[in-house]
Structure 1
Amino acid sequence: MVVKLFGCSYASCSRRVLACLIEKDIEFETLSVDINKGEQKKPEFLALQPFGKVPVVQDGSLMLFDSRAIIRYYAEKFGGEGTCLLGKTLEERAFIDVMVIAFAWSSTSAITGCEASWLSVIGLSSGARVAFFNIYS
Structure 2
Amino acid sequence: MLRSIITGFAVATVVLGAPVMSATASENTAKVTLVYEHELPNVPGKSIKGILVEYGPGGSSEAHTHPTSAFIYATVLEGSIRSQVNDGPVKVYHAGENFSEMPGDRHGVSANGSKTKPAKLLAVFVVDTKEKGLTFPIKK
Shorter-chain TM-score category?
under 0.3
Higher strand share: 2
Compute the TM-score of the two structures, normalised by the length of structure 1.
0.25
Compute the TM-score of the two structures, normalised by the length of structure 2.
0.25
